Amino acid sequence: MTKTMPEARQAAQDDLSQAIALALRHLQDTQSPDGSWHGDYGGPVFLLPTLIAATHIIGEPFDRETERDFVRYFRHEQNPDGGWPLHTGDESYVYATALCYVAQRLLGVPADDPDLQRGQAWLLDHGGAADVPPWGKFLLALLNLYDYDGVMPVPPELWLLPDGLPAHPSRFWCHSRMVYLPMSYLYGIRAQAPLTPVLRAIRGEIFCEPFEGFDFRATQTRCAPGDIYVPLSRLYRVMNRLLNGYEAVAGKSLRDRANAFVLDQVRQEDENTNTICIGPINKVLNMLCWHFAEPGGPRVAAHRAQLPEYLWKGAHGTHMQGYNSSQLWDTAFAVQAICATGRVGEVQSMADGAHDYIERNQVLEDTPNRALYYRDPSKGGWPFSNRKHGWPISDCTAEGLKSAIALQPHVEGPIGAERLHDAADLILGWQNGDGGWPTYERARTLPWMEALNPSFVFADIMVDHSYVECTSACLQALVSYREGYADTVRAARIEQAIERGRAFLLKRQRADGSWIGSWGICFTYGTWFAISGLRAAGLAADSASIRRAAAFLIAHQLPDGGWGETIESCKRGAYTSCPDGQVVMTSWAVLSLLQSDEADSAAVQSGVRFLQDRQKGDGSWPDETIAGVFNRTCAITYDNYRKIFGLWALAAAEARLRA
Ligand code: LAN
């Protein structure tokens, strides 16, 4: 007997409702005791070798079992061609191959191990250590596997220049600044591990030429062609010549003063972050600074004790993560997904736990003497991971604020209004001159400073530009804050900020209707943020901009009903489909279309069907392609995204049916 139309609709709604209940249960089952969702934040392969090099240099390696698990990870990441990728699943890079090879040798894997031999063959085929990009050469120099003559100069004296100069290091994007900081100290003192038999042996394994007598100076600006995404600019080459000239005549007393200045900055970063540091690289380099400045001292011990914070034991071995965690970020999205189901009362303890986490991890104070240490205000902000880490971020603050507000009616003892005001004020203060929002700090210099990017491998690392995602998140947060909490003065400021933010988003829309994302892959991510921001800022579902965006998404739907993009989208700046739909990207597309006048279209229905079909019996979704990215070239795993965005998209679809 065939079902009547209303019956069929009812059955479909029941199915959807069942899928949501399962996804909610799965979310509940995977919540950590602290109320957050804690998942793997791995992906970049070049990080673990840095950590292994550093623990080797300070003479405090990990226990044997962990070390074996590091090796297991390296084996898993090795490509069939013998090399290692920049991030899981990528092509082989000279950068990663040299570092992963060396790290395994330091872990005790013998040179005649067949996998290492394949790695070595690939490396030597592609230029060997002399073609490693600059950050890799720097690490090799620390290990005494490279001569400092072959390292592009990073003199600490640059910190002593007038800080009004556009190229003063204090004006760099905070991640580059905080890497450059310890690097300049280590470079300034030419820090180097003592030569041991294993290091001497490695010297003979990673070069195409004999180490002794090699012309290191000539290799400073060399980089394997396959590793290059951003070629070194002419400006940098000129500056590099000047810096080499300076190094030849640098006087001791100025160097000592500069080193002392830098070390004090390093100390403050350690104290501000409870020795976690802003990211994985400066964490390891700061530790090395103390190893050379105060060997065996308490600061080295404090750093060493915090290292495991960055490790993740996964199914294929233990690796280093891109941040100390993504807990706040994931938890804020989880809260919004839960609220979208309209069933908070059914999962009260989960909501209470998540609220606790968000409450306990808002930053409540500015950092001490912040102007001396080039820090902006922090009070009221939310970090990406936790309060201990302490660096607030614009969109993390925005998602923190949105989720705190969403939970206000549902929890006992919600976050007080004063703290919400602080968050809103911080967000208002972060807006850039172009109307968009940066990641951590208002832009401190001009976009052309990207010409001083020395990395070859990553793009957009010198300036905290305005981003579509950050702008959208901040707009949405300001709108929801204004509705319930803003006084008239703040409301007027918010009105203006929204006006400018909205204009920024509209200006960034591409001719094809899409927005490119910078921190997720890629157009589905950027477009979801932009549509959500514009709708919050008052644009109608049937406005020309949103219609064009919806048409773009519909044009890229795959035959299986889903959406899926690869990191090539980010690298090429052009939509690059996966063969099959992916749960996370499909969720972003569905969430976008539901805010457009295509909300009831067949495209949405088949997208939702795709999500339901992919869901497993326990409410989870299977592992799939990496969804996160940074600096255009490096993918990063957001382990919790499937369960959060899968649930959110289903919940939003159900709300639409009910409406
Ligand atoms: C992150 C992680 C979080 C991410 C979001 C909040 C998701 C984003 O919306 C804004 C940018 C931000 C804060 C971000 C920037 C770049 C980071 C810090 C990372 C992707 C984590 C690791 C990466 C960092 C630069 C890795 C170290 C490598 C270097 C090139 C220095």
Q: Residue 120: inside a domain, yes or no?
A: yes
Looking at the fold, whether 300 and 434 belong to one and the same domain comes out as no
Looking at the fold, whether 53 and 98 belong to one and the same domain comes out as yes
Q: Which pLDDT does position 550 carry in this prediction?
A: 98
In this predicted model, what pLDDT tens digit does every residue of 536-549 receive, in sequence order? 999 999 999 999 99
- Determine the distance separating the centroid of ligand 1 and the alpha carbon of 241, expressed in angstroms: 31
Q: Whose CA is nearest to atom 20 of ligand 1?
A: 630
Question: Which structural domain, as residue segments, surrounds residue 372?
Answer: 14-41+323-658
pLDDT at 2 over 80: no
Would you say the CB of residue 630 lies under 6 angstroms from ligand 1?
yes
Would you say the CB of residue 439 lies under 6 angstroms from ligand 1?
yes
d(CA 607, CA 501): 30
pLDDT at 7 over 90: no
Q: Which pLDDT does position 659 carry in this prediction?
A: 81
Residue where a domain terminates, one of 308, 331, 348: 308
Q: Which pLDDT does position 4 carry in this prediction?
A: 72
% of residues, the chain, pLDDT over 70: 99
**Ligand 1, pocket-test mutation among 570, 630, 633, 634, most atoms within 8 A of CB:** 630
pLDDT at 106 over 70: yes
Q: Whose CA is nearest to atom 5 of ligand 1?
A: 519
Catalytic residue among 40, 395, 422, 464: 395
In this predicted model, what pLDDT tens digit does every residue of 403-431 receive, in sequence order? 999 999 999 999 999 999 999 999 999 99
CATH of the domain at 345: 1.50.10.20
Asked if 363 contacts 354 with a C-beta cutoff of 8 angstroms, the reply is: no
Q: Which pLDDT does position 464 carry in this prediction?
A: 96
Would you say the CB of residue 647 lies under 6 angstroms from ligand 1?
no
d(CA 331, CA 385): 10
In this predicted model, what pLDDT tens digit does every residue of 583-597 receive, in sequence order? 999 999 999 999 999
Residue where a domain terminates, one of 254, 282, 308: 308
d(CA 659, CA 650): 14
Instruction: Tell me the DSSP string of 30-97.
Output: T--TTSS-------BSSHHHHHHHHHHHHT----HHHHHHHHHHHHHH--TTS-EESBTTPPEEHHHH
Q: Which pLDDT does position 3 carry in this prediction?
A: 61
Mean pLDDT of 215-219: 97
What counts of helices (H) and strands (E) characterise the chain?
A: 24, 8
Pair of tokens at residue 357: 């986490």
Q: Whose CA is nearest to atom 16 of ligand 1?
A: 630
Looking at the fold, whether 383 and 454 belong to one and the same domain comes out as yes
Q: Which pLDDT does position 8 carry in this prediction?
A: 81
Say whether 63 is catalytic. no
Asked if 475 contacts 443 with a C-beta cutoff of 8 angstroms, the reply is: no
d(CA 497, CA 306): 39
Q: Residue 7: inside a domain, yes or no?
A: no
Would you say the CB of residue 396 lies under 6 angstroms from ligand 1?
yes
Q: Whose CA is nearest to atom 30 of ligand 1?
A: 458
Would you say the CB of residue 395 lies under 6 angstroms from ligand 1?
yes
Q: Which pLDDT does position 569 carry in this prediction?
A: 98
The pTM (predicted TM-score) of the whole model is 0.97
User: What is the distance, to the nearest Å, from the Cα of residue 625 to the centroid of all Cα atoms in its chain?
Assistant: 16
Closest of 239, 225, 231, 238 to residue 126, by C-alpha: 225
Residue where a domain terminates, one of 255, 274, 308: 308
Three-state DSSP class for residue 263: helix
Q: Which pLDDT does position 11 carry in this prediction?
A: 87
Looking at the fold, whether 426 and 568 belong to one and the same domain comes out as yes
Q: Residue 2: inside a domain, yes or no?
A: no
Closest of 511, 439, 425 to residue 468, by C-alpha: 439
Looking at the fold, whether 206 and 242 belong to one and the same domain comes out as yes
In this predicted model, what pLDDT tens digit does every residue of 84-94 receive, in sequence order? 999 999 999 99
Q: Residue 8: inside a domain, yes or no?
A: no
**Ligand 1, pocket-test mutation among 41, 139, 384, most atoms within 8 A of CB:** 384
CA-CA distances (angstroms) from residue 523 to 25, 231, 410, 452, 586? 30, 25, 34, 28, 12
Confidence band, pLDDT 50/70/90 cuts, at residue 486: confident
Cβ-Cβ contacts under 8 Å for 138 (sequence gap 6 or more): 151, 154, 183, 186, 187
Looking at the fold, whether 96 and 136 belong to one and the same domain comes out as yes
Q: Residue 368: inside a domain, yes or no?
A: yes
Q: Residue 5: inside a domain, yes or no?
A: no
CA-CA distances (angstroms) from residue 375 to 2, 269, 299, 342? 67, 10, 22, 40
Token pair 């795709």 is found at 610
Asked if 619 contacts 587 with a C-beta cutoff of 8 angstroms, the reply is: no
Mean pLDDT of 147-169: 96
CA-CA distances (angstroms) from residue 415 to 265, 400, 486? 33, 11, 15
Q: Residue 154: inside a domain, yes or no?
A: yes
In this predicted model, what pLDDT tens digit does every residue of 453-479 receive, in sequence order? 999 999 999 999 999 999 999 999 999
- Determine the distance separating the centroid of ligand 1 and the alpha carbon of 312, expressed in angstroms: 17
Looking at the fold, whether 80 and 217 belong to one and the same domain comes out as yes
Q: Whose CA is nearest to atom 7 of ligand 1?
A: 519
Would you say the CB of residue 278 lies under 6 angstroms from ligand 1?
no
* H or E element in which residue 370 lies: none
Looking at the fold, whether 242 and 346 belong to one and the same domain comes out as no
Report residue 578: phi and psi, to 5°. -80, 165
Measured from the Cα of 44, ligand 1's closest atom is 26
Confidence band, pLDDT 50/70/90 cuts, at residue 5: low
Tell me: cis bond preceding 522? Omega within 30 of 0 counts.
Answer: yes
Would you say the CB of residue 323 lies under 6 angstroms from ligand 1?
yes
Mean pLDDT of 24-47: 98
DSSP state of 308: G
d(CA 174, CA 183): 14
% of residues, the chain, pLDDT over 90: 97
Looking at the fold, whether 37 and 51 belong to one and the same domain comes out as no
Confidence band, pLDDT 50/70/90 cuts, at residue 9: confident
pLDDT at 577 over 60: yes
Would you say the CB of residue 322 lies under 6 angstroms from ligand 1?
yes
Looking at the fold, whether 275 and 409 belong to one and the same domain comes out as no
Mean pLDDT of 275-291: 98
Q: Residue 3: inside a domain, yes or no?
A: no
Confidence band, pLDDT 50/70/90 cuts, at residue 243: very high
DSSP state of 84: E
Average pLDDT, the chain: 97
DSSP state of 439: S
What is the count of structural domains for the chain?
2
Looking at the fold, whether 449 and 387 belong to one and the same domain comes out as yes
pLDDT at 388 over 90: yes
In this predicted model, what pLDDT tens digit does every residue of 61-88 receive, in sequence order? 999 999 999 999 999 999 999 999 999 9
d(CA 269, CA 288): 14
Q: Which pLDDT does position 149 carry in this prediction?
A: 97
Would you say the CB of residue 179 lies under 6 angstroms from ligand 1?
yes
CA-CA distances (angstroms) from residue 326 to 36, 271, 358, 359? 10, 21, 13, 16
Looking at the fold, whether 392 and 525 belong to one and the same domain comes out as yes
- Determine the distance separating the centroid of ligand 1 and the alpha carbon of 148, expressed in angstroms: 29
Measured from the Cα of 281, ligand 1's closest atom is 27
